[in-house]
Structure 1
Amino acid sequence: MSQLKQEITLQSGIGQLSTTLLGTGLFMVPAIVAGIAGQYSLWAWLLLFVAICPIALTFAKLGKSYPNAGGTAFFVRQAFNQKLEKSVAWLFMSIIPVGVPAAIALTGGFLQQLLPSGLDSPLIAQVLTIALLMLVSLAGSKSSGRLQMGIALSIFALVISFWIRGDITPQDITMPTLSFDEGAKIGAALAVMFWCFVGIEAFAHMGEEFKNPQRDFPIAIIIGSFVAGAVYWACSVVILKFGAYGTPEFDTASIPWLSEQLFGPEFKLLISVLGFSACFASINLYTQSLARMLWAQARDYRPGSGMARLSSRGVPANATFAIGAVLTFSCVAGALSNLDLEFFVKLANSVFVLIYLLAMVAAVKLLTGLSRALAVIALILCTIVFLCLGWSMLYALSIFGILLLPWGKWRSTYMTPTTDS
């Protein structure tokens, strides 16, 4: 078997993308950006959503025209060359050591509250999370899509209940007056907030598995992005009204705290289950997309290797196990480093934004007409967001620069035996 199964429907695609975009972000980013920009974070959310629209539409057009498990790396190969494709593929892999510790630590934090005494340590919870990721990934994309649709509906119900129980009024959603002095705060908030819309590039790896990729893939991206943006903004309104921000504890516990204030302590267990499910759904798509990217590279360049094989379910099992091993190592390293979530988020965002930027560059070359004009706008917006990252963009640029070096040429030169004349 050399092709992935086409099992993803429009409904499951929307569920997968919306839960991926919400996932870990909903439980930490609104509180973090509220601490950075206060009431002006409401403007920042709107600005980010406006910026993400042309980017999402461009990804939708690329995925419709070039459905492939290689995702952005494949788009870049179509537009440029194999060398750049491989660099983008490994750049995507570099997300693991910085993005995964933050995401799995947050997910494991919810699971830790559900574990019995003796097993409720942070590292055990994280390892169990990775084991569950492996099981769900190996079950196939059809089962995963159904699970994530259920989680998406639960998240929507939670945010709606916050608005009803929190008695949100028109005064609570009044936008503050903008001034030039607040521009720096909004820019700093955007550098963190982009985390909430990373997932579109990972979703591009799933395009090959849609039953009808030309019709359903772009619709899933557009609806999934719109739904996620609305939920983030609505959640931020509640966090600002009740002041659930401003301390490191709120960065990861604003939603549980709000739930206890609005519904009482007996609601805590349900929030832990929902929190774990939402965060798990987000990491689940990334685990699958990373495995598919690794499989796609092996299929194209080393078709006889173990990484290029698929299981009887049509899943790249060996690639999935390889990703699981790297995730485990990264989580152990993350647990030992004791660095805060905001630091990891900014580093991961630099890689994500650079990948988005490279995808938009490829789109400008590959697309034509109105789609190309939209890609140009998306490219400009990605560049602006990348500059807002400040010092953290050096992480992505450094890795990408190293990947672009002619390692293959140097290796060939070093390994070629010289002969005396």
Structure 2
Amino acid sequence: MHQLKQDITLFSGISQLATTLLGTGLFMVPAIASGITGSLTLWAWCILFIAICPIALTFATMGKHYPNAGGTAYFVRRAFNKRLENAVAWLFMSIMPVGIPPAIALAGGFLKPILPSFLAHDWAAQLLTIALLLIVNLMGSKSSGQLQSLIALCIFALIGGFFWQGNIGLDDLVMPTLHAQDAISIGEALAVMFWCFVGIEAFAHMGEEFKNPQRDFPIAILAGCFIAGCVYWACTVVILKFHAYGSSHFDNGSIPWLSDHLFGSNMALVISILGFFACFASVNLYTQSLSRMVLSQARQYRPSSALVSVSSRGVPVRATYVVFAVITASCVLGLVTELDLSIFLKLANSVFVMIYLLAMLAATRLLTGKARHLARLSLLLCTLVFLCLGWSMLYAVIILLVFMRPWQRTQQRHYAQS
């Protein structure tokens, strides 16, 4: 059995993308961005959402016409060649050792206060998080979608509670006056805030598992981005009103502080649980996407491999085990060496933007008419963001170049033999 199950509905698809985009970002980015540009962050969110719309629309169009577990790698193969497809697949999988561990570390930080004292350590919290992720991944995308729908509703309830308990009025929703000199600080904030819309490329791998991908997949991407953008904007309104920004304490503790300030210390446990599951939801989609990338590559180049087997729940089990083995090793390495997780985040961000850029490049060749013009605009936006990454963009460039050459030689031998 090599086919994935088409279990994802429109509602569960929207919930999965919305919770993935919120995930770890909700607990860090609004406060960090507010510390950079103050009340102008409200405008920055609007600008970012407008900028991300062409990219989201292009991903939605590509997913509608080319639903496949390979995601961007599949798009690139259709547009260019198999050699570049393999390089992109390896590029995406290079997220495993640098992008997943920081998110698991943050999730483990929320889990620690919930655990009994003998387990309340970084090691136990992170390994338990990995074990729970593995279980949910093996349950299949339908069960994951139901879990993430519940998490999404809890996040909405939390932000709604902040608005209600914080007496947010019309005066708090007034947009600040913009001046020409504000462009620099808004640009600095946008460089941080782009992290909040990383996840669309991972969602592209799930297109094959929608019940009606042609209809529901584009709607899920657009609705998920819109909902996440609204939640980030609303959260920023509350953070600005209560000045929960401007220090390192608030950079990753603004939500717990607001909860304690508005609801009292009795909500601490609830926030820990919600924070854990919000981070959990974000990592969950990525681990699912990575296992499907492994499946797609095995299905394409090693069809007799054990990695192509799919369970009765539609889960690529052995591919999932491979992904989690790499993630576990990376987390253990991070714990042993005590490496700065911010370095991991910068390297991961370069991979994400490169994947977006290559997906948009493929779209300019595969799409036609107005969709092609939209893809060109998206390509320009991704290129600008990539150049703003500085030295960290070299990680993605090196990964891409390294894995193009070996596959080129392999394909040449394959063609010579045939």
With the shorter chain as reference, the TM-score category is over 0.9
C-alpha spacing 1:110/1:313, structure 2 compared with 1 (3 Å): same
2:173 equivalent in structure 1? 173
Range moving further from structure 2, 304-313 or 291-300: 304-313
Measured in 2, the distance between the counterparts of 1:86 and 1:291 equals: 15
Q: Is the 8 A contact 2:16 2:285 kept in 1?
A: yes
1:372 equivalent in structure 2? 372
C-alpha spacing 1:233/1:342, structure 2 compared with 1 (3 Å): farther
C-alpha displacement at 1:254, in angstroms? 1.1
Q: Is the 8 A contact 1:354 1:396 kept in 2?
A: yes
Q: Is the 8 A contact 2:360 2:378 kept in 1?
A: yes
C-alpha displacement at 1:325, in angstroms? 0.8
2:261 equivalent in structure 1? 261
Measured in 1, the distance between the counterparts of 2:44 and 2:348 equals: 20
In the TM superposition, 1:312-391 aligns within 5 A as 312-391=312-391
C-alpha spacing 1:215/1:411, structure 2 compared with 1 (3 Å): closer
1:245 equivalent in structure 2? 245
1:90 equivalent in structure 2? 90
1:130 maps to 2:119: no
Measured in 2, the distance between the counterparts of 1:34 and 1:342 equals: 19
In the TM superposition, 1:151-230 aligns within 5 A as 151-230=151-230
Deviations 1:332-377 (A, max 9, x none): 2223444555443332221111100100000010000111111111
Measured in 1, the distance between the counterparts of 2:285 and 2:156 equals: 19
Q: Is the 8 A contact 1:19 1:148 kept in 2?
A: yes
Range moving further from structure 2, 76-85 or 325-334: 325-334
- Amino acid in structure 1 at the alignment position of 2:132: L
2:295 equivalent in structure 1? 295
Deviations 1:106-136 (A, max 9, x none): 1111111110011010121011111011100
Range moving further from structure 2, 326-335 or 276-285: 326-335
Deviations 1:73-99 (A, max 9, x none): 000000000010011111111112221
C-alpha displacement at 1:249, in angstroms? 2.5
Measured in 1, the distance between the counterparts of 2:209 and 2:407 equals: 33
C-alpha displacement at 1:388, in angstroms? 2.4
Gaps of 5+ in 2: 414-418
Q: Is the 8 A contact 2:83 2:408 kept in 1?
A: no
C-alpha displacement at 1:412, in angstroms? 8.7
Measured in 1, the distance between the counterparts of 2:280 and 2:74 equals: 27
Q: Is the 8 A contact 2:86 2:407 kept in 1?
A: no
C-alpha displacement at 1:406, in angstroms? 4.2
1:417 equivalent in structure 2? none
Measured in 1, the distance between the counterparts of 2:343 and 2:30 equals: 16
TM, length-normalised to structure 2: 0.95
Gaps of 5+ in 1: 414-421
Aligned residue-pair number: 413
C-alpha spacing 1:316/1:157, structure 2 compared with 1 (3 Å): same
Range moving further from structure 2, 281-290 or 243-252: 243-252
2:44 equivalent in structure 1? 44
Range moving further from structure 2, 351-360 or 383-392: 383-392
Q: Is the 8 A contact 1:18 1:227 kept in 2?
A: yes
Q: Is the 8 A contact 1:194 1:349 kept in 2?
A: no
Range moving further from structure 2, 326-335 or 119-128: 326-335
- Amino acid in structure 2 at the alignment position of 1:237: V
Range moving further from structure 2, 76-85 or 338-347: 338-347
1:54 equivalent in structure 2? 54
Measured in 2, the distance between the counterparts of 1:394 and 1:242 equals: 39
Q: Is the 8 A contact 1:168 1:238 kept in 2?
A: yes
Measured in 2, the distance between the counterparts of 1:170 and 1:380 equals: 37
Deviations 1:226-277 (A, max 9, x none): 0000001111111122222222222221111110000000001111111111
Measured in 2, the distance between the counterparts of 1:269 and 1:70 equals: 39
Measured in 2, the distance between the counterparts of 1:217 and 1:197 equals: 17
C-alpha displacement at 1:167, in angstroms? 1.6
2:305 equivalent in structure 1? 305
- Amino acid in structure 1 at the alignment position of 2:84: L
1:106 equivalent in structure 2? 106
Measured in 1, the distance between the counterparts of 2:51 and 2:300 equals: 34
In the TM superposition, 1:11-50 aligns within 5 A as 11-50=11-50
C-alpha displacement at 1:65, in angstroms? 0.2
C-alpha spacing 1:73/1:411, structure 2 compared with 1 (3 Å): closer
Q: Is the 8 A contact 2:21 2:199 kept in 1?
A: yes
Measured in 2, the distance between the counterparts of 1:338 and 1:7 equals: 40
SS at match of 2:117: coil
SS at match of 1:298: helix
- Amino acid in structure 2 at the alignment position of 1:351: V
C-alpha spacing 1:67/1:227, structure 2 compared with 1 (3 Å): same
2:6 equivalent in structure 1? 6
Q: Is the 8 A contact 1:192 1:349 kept in 2?
A: no
Measured in 2, the distance between the counterparts of 1:288 and 1:152 equals: 18
1:418 equivalent in structure 2? none
- Amino acid in structure 1 at the alignment position of 2:82: Q
Over the residues paired in the alignment, what is the CA RMSD in angstroms? 1.7
SS at match of 1:211: coil
Range moving further from structure 2, 114-123 or 34-43: 34-43
C-alpha displacement at 1:49, in angstroms? 0.5
C-alpha displacement at 1:409, in angstroms? 2.4
- Amino acid in structure 2 at the alignment position of 1:82: K
